[in-house]
Amino acid sequence: MNWFRKLIVVSTVFCLIPLWTGAAEREYHVNIPRLPQPPQIDGIKENPLWKKAATLDSFTQYEPKEGAAPSEKTLVYMGYAQKNLYIAVRAFDSNPQAIRSCLTKRDEVHGDDQITFYFDTFRDRKKAFTFQVNPCGVQTDGVYKEMKRRRRGGGFQKIDKSWDTYFTTDARVDEKGYFVEMAIPFKSLRFPNRKTQLWGLQIKREIPRKNEEIYWYPRSRDVNGFLVQSGTLEISGDIEKGRNVEVLPVVTGRKERSKSFNPQAGVNLKYGVTSDMTLDFAYNPDFSQVEADMPQIDVNQRYDLYYPEKRPFFLEGKDIFDTPVELVYTRTIVNPQYGFKLTGKTGKYSIGVLSAYDETPPEINFSSQEDEPLAPSSRALVNVFRMKRDLFKESYVGFILTDKEAGANWGGLSENYNRVAGIDGHFKFNKYYRFTFQIMGSQSQKRNQKSGFIPAMNFKFNRNSRHWRLSAEYKSLPDAFEASTGFIRRRDIQSLSTRVSYAFLPQNKYIVDIRPSFEYKRIYNFDNTLTDEEFQVGGFISGWRGTFIYGGFTSRLERYEGIDFHKNSFRAHINSEPLSWLSGNISFSFGDGIYYSDNPYLGYKTSLGFRLTLKPLANLRAFYKFQNNRFFKEMGGEKVYDVNILSQRINFQFSRTLSLRLITDYNDYYKKLYNSILLSYVYNPGTVFYLGIDDNQIQDETGMYRIEGRYYFIKFSYWWRI
């Protein structure tokens, strides 16, 4: 009868699992009440309205010790009115003088104490709108993407902070800790067009000096995914939905030395067709770069460098266009005269449509061989259609179509084209496993040359659990595969890469985790010639005050210009935030390197870099970055080149809206010096006033610097929301 008893026990356990799950869901489900009147957002706790709000006080530690009780108590109050979601946070702190808090620019509060709210408004466990506030009331907003991953310090960050919206905040530090108030307009969010809203909700509090992260819904390393570890927020009353109309007129002006002032006007329109679908239109849009790209070393580089998108028009719904192989890289749309975009989600379907007319488009190339470039007067019409359908809780399948038509003028746009179509998908299964695929094909024409249909594909599998991380990826990209609207660093490859790592978890105040890893990669071209083979052994340690240490040894075969080069190299990286006013990192590498030329050879290469952020005052931030690359014909031999780049960013914040910024970039290889001064008034992400000077200088033969270009510019825009 032992088997019968075992059957009874197992059956009982399986019967209780839904009860336990239901209890957990009820514990982390909040039905927020409608407040009798909107609270004043002033950062003062004495408002009696918060007593009528829902209170959340159950938080659990994730770092340094998963599952432990927080060292400090946190209370969150939530309520709503028809137009806004209202939030207040009492963050208790036993040592208020040690709270890290700076008055700085929007979206730049990294390293401070802060509160973060994740709203998965469609409950698809794929993306969430994020809102962060530090104890000075400085705002950060963005979109969290479950499929995207970027390494920062000892943890993974997948928040795209380039997305901006309007919400109001205020905060105060007092003898108990700090208090935060927020009002988020429902028009600033996208959510299903139904009466009762049921959103995924996660709340995080960071206490950097203790290396502590706590979450409202307990977070576990033994779950492959973040948004699946969320509670639920319910709004059962009427709220403002859709029909959101925004008008953003923009006036810019630029004056070059010895030339007259050149003003230009444009307009951006946004229409909320419904609460979950948005139409954007821009005519003569201002795509000027207020924030300069961080300089990168481009000497002796085999492949193109990548620069992130910063232009507001392209950022709305950007995540919808993302695919495993990046087929939509909007910086390939260089100088659009106009553009429109429809993005959103209806039911289980996410839809994105983008069209832009580019007056200075880059080349269409469907072969690595160089040919005659298009005429400088060419124009291009870029169109993108994207659709994704949700499957289950964390999976989807999608379709994408991109089309770039280029010609000398509007009537001749069909002379040259590039068209890409593809399907992709992501599947989560058996708790730990994920599988991603993309199958696509391109067809191109340039003058009298025309390619056939060129297929390409990408497959990736990974398993993430508390201790083990395993991944394998296969990629096939023929030489003739062209994606003119995307970013593909390398073609003519059939690659297989694998990675395995294991985590040791001391989880104490000094060391949180230790993770050794091994990687292997093998690449063939389409002539079945082995072009790359790489072994990498490495590991990292994360712990005390955001300290992250990585080291790795790589042995690699790389084939270039028909020659096989065997290279060994070592690289290391150290990142830390030891003090409230000091954070930084150091990275270095050394080993064999290839000099890429018509007559390549194997030499010796070193690199050194550091980043340093200083906060001597609460409203003063200085950032420095130094990069050095050296190449020698052999170790200890003749130096071939020595590149040094020094970058400086100094920001003085007069208030949350007014700031003064200085940028200095120096490249000693090209003997170029760039300076920029910018006075900014940013009332909200759309209502801004900028006044600045850009100065480019170059060193001549005598060693003196002469002005290569000096520009005075002004920008004003005003955000109307109707």
Sequence-ordered list of residues with C-beta below 8 angstroms from that of 194, at least 6 positions apart, any chain: none
Question: Which amino acid type is present at position 710?
Answer: R
CA angle 612, 617, 623 (to 5 degrees): 20
CA gap 341, 270 in Å, rounded? 9
The DSSP result for 254-270, as a single string, is: EEETTS--EEEEEEEEE
What per-residue confidence (pLDDT) applies to 527? 93
Q: Are 201 and 534 in contact (CB under 8 A)?
A: no
Write the class of the CATH domain 32-235.
mainly beta
What per-residue confidence (pLDDT) applies to 156? 41
Helix (H, G, I), strand (E, B) or coil at 313: helix
In the chain, the largest separation of any two C-alpha atoms, in whole Å, equals: 99
Residue with tokens 């790389």: 558
The DSSP result for 531-569, as a single string, is: EEEEEEEEEEEEEGGGEEEEEEEEEEEEEETTEEEEEEE
| E strands present in 126-242 | 127-133, 139-145, 150-152, 155-157, 159-160, 168-174, 177-185, 197-207, 212-215, 231-235
Query: Across the strands, what pairs with 77?
Result: 55, 88
**pLDDT confidence bin for 13, thresholds 50/70/90:** very low
Q: Are 705 and 699 in contact (CB under 8 A)?
A: yes
| Least confident piece of the model among 220-229, 273-282, 360-369, 698-707 | 360-369
Long-range contacts of 450-454 (CB under 8 A, 24+ apart): 451/366, 451/480, 451/482, 454/366, 454/478, 454/480, 454/481, 454/482
| Stretch 18-25: mean pLDDT | 42
What per-residue confidence (pLDDT) applies to 243? 66
| Least confident piece of the model among 231-245, 284-298, 461-475 | 284-298
CA gap 250, 657 in Å, rounded? 19
| Enclosing H/E stretch for 12 | helix 2-27
Question: Which amino acid type is present at position 48?
Answer: P
| Stretch 6-24: mean pLDDT | 38
The residue count for the chain: 722
What per-residue confidence (pLDDT) applies to 12? 38
CA angle 194, 195, 200 (to 5 degrees): 70
**pLDDT confidence bin for 148, thresholds 50/70/90:** low
End-to-end CA distance of the chain: 73
Q: Are 115 and 177 in contact (CB under 8 A)?
A: no
Closest CA to 189 of 201, 181, 205: 201
The mean of the pLDDT values for the chain is 88
Query: Across the strands, what pairs with 706?
Result: 698
| Stretch 658-678: mean pLDDT | 94
| Enclosing H/E stretch for 5 | helix 2-27
- Please count the other Cβ atoms lying within 10 Å of the Cβ belonging to residue 264: 12
**pLDDT confidence bin for 287, thresholds 50/70/90:** low
Q: For residue 618, what are its two tokens?
A: 């609460």
What per-residue confidence (pLDDT) applies to 364? 83
**Is the per-residue pLDDT at 372 higher than 60?**
no
Q: Are 513 and 504 in contact (CB under 8 A)?
A: yes
What per-residue confidence (pLDDT) applies to 343? 92
What per-residue confidence (pLDDT) applies to 45? 74
SS (H, E, C) 86-124: EEEEEEECCCHHHCCCCCCCCCCCCCCCEEEEEEECCCC
What per-residue confidence (pLDDT) applies to 171? 94
| Stretch 172-188: mean pLDDT | 94
CA gap 573, 469 in Å, rounded? 21
CA gap 106, 108 in Å, rounded? 6
**Is the per-residue pLDDT at 144 higher than 70?**
yes
Closest CA to 111 of 642, 648, 577, 672: 577
| Least confident piece of the model among 255-269, 550-564, 644-658 | 255-269
- Higher-confidence residue of 267 and 385: namely 385
| Stretch 67-92: mean pLDDT | 96
Q: What percent of the chain has pLDDT over 90?
A: 64
- Residue 106 falls in which region: left (phi positive, over 0), alpha (psi -120 to 50) or beta: beta
**Is the per-residue pLDDT at 285 higher than 80?**
no
CA gap 580, 618 in Å, rounded? 10
Residue with tokens 């007259």: 260
Closest CA to 226 of 157, 140, 164: 157
| Stretch 656-665: mean pLDDT | 94
Beta strand 29-31 with 231-235 is parallel
Condensed to tens digits (0 to 9), the pLDDT of residues 522-534 reads 999 999 999 999 9
**Is the per-residue pLDDT at 22 higher than 70?**
no
567 alpha carbon, distance to own chain's centre? 32
CA gap 182, 39 in Å, rounded? 10
CA gap 275, 235 in Å, rounded? 15
64 preceded by a cis bond (ω within 30 of 0): yes
Domain residue ranges of the chain, discontinuous segments joined by +: 32-235, 309-487
CA angle 37, 41, 45 (to 5 degrees): 90
What per-residue confidence (pLDDT) applies to 281? 92
Strand order in the sheet with 74-80: 54-56, 74-80, 84-92, 177-185, 168-174
**Is the per-residue pLDDT at 150 higher than 50?**
no
DSSP 20: H
Condensed to tens digits (0 to 9), the pLDDT of residues 190-199 reads 898 888 999 9
- Higher-confidence residue of 147 and 13: namely 147
What per-residue confidence (pLDDT) applies to 18? 38
- Please count the other Cβ atoms lying within 10 Å of the Cβ belonging to residue 180: 24
| Enclosing H/E stretch for 465 | none
| Stretch 675-702: mean pLDDT | 90
Condensed to tens digits (0 to 9), the pLDDT of residues 574-595 reads 999 999 899 999 999 999 999 9
Q: What is the helix, strand, coil percentage profile of the chain, to 5?
A: 10, 55, 35
**Is the per-residue pLDDT at 684 higher than 50?**
yes
- Higher-confidence residue of 339 and 376: namely 339
Condensed to tens digits (0 to 9), the pLDDT of residues 304-330 reads 778 778 777 887 788 899 999 999 998
| Stretch 216-226: mean pLDDT | 93
What per-residue confidence (pLDDT) applies to 161? 84
